[in-house]
Structure 1
């Protein structure tokens, strides 16, 4: 079980790294927000899930460990709902403020 937990954590770090590259390399605000919103949500969920599994495995499945794991799963639910909603709200506000989308035609000038 520890190997599965560590695999989830490493996979989450991989997606965080991918989001960082996306933020640095993508051309406009909307692309960067999309990369950050999607990858950060998935990576946060994977890391918290890995922590919950690791904690359950090393505490020998007693009642207190199930309580901690339940709280971590509640955090996962909040992240799963809150992060995409916040990303959408930020992108909607940028659209309302008139932030321009990237196009290849702008790059050539």
Structure 2
């Protein structure tokens, strides 16, 4: 049973690292602030959640230690990171940061 949990924990950790790499490449390669922020906030949130779930599984089954702080960290990051990304994008839009010239539509322009 412990070998299965170790493999599952390693898979969660590897998925988290993969999502962090996707986030880093998105920040480097995407053209404007809005798409970069989207890449950073979404994939980094999932990446840190996968890493925390992997560590929770590992320490719970390997050392019989359930740490509720990890669960609180998962909940906290899941609630705050998308909101922070959204607020950063809204503040960038309202301060006049231009969108990429190939952007198809501006949905916030319709509401103002």
TM-score under structure 1 length normalisation: 0.87
* 1:30 corresponds to which of 31, 34, 37: 34
Partner of 1:103: 101
Q: Give, in whole Å, the separation in 1 of the partners of 2:94 and 2:77.
A: 25
Displaced runs of 4 or more, over 4 A: none
Q: Give, in whole Å, the separation in 2 of the partners of 1:103 and 1:57.
A: 51
Question: Number of paired residues?
Answer: 99
State the Cα distance separating 1:103 from its structure 2 match: 1.8
Higher helix share: 1
Partner of 2:59: 55
State the Cα distance separating 1:104 from its structure 2 match: 3.0
TM-score under structure 2 length normalisation: 0.85
State the Cα distance separating 1:58 from its structure 2 match: 1.4
* 1:85 corresponds to which of 83, 87, 106: 83
Q: Give, in whole Å, the separation in 2 of the partners of 1:58 and 1:104.
A: 51
Query: Structure 2, unaligned stretches of length 5 or more?
Result: 104-112
SS at match of 1:100: coil
* Root mean square deviation of aligned Cα: 1.1
Partner of 2:17: 13
Query: Structure 1, unaligned stretches of length 5 or more?
Result: none
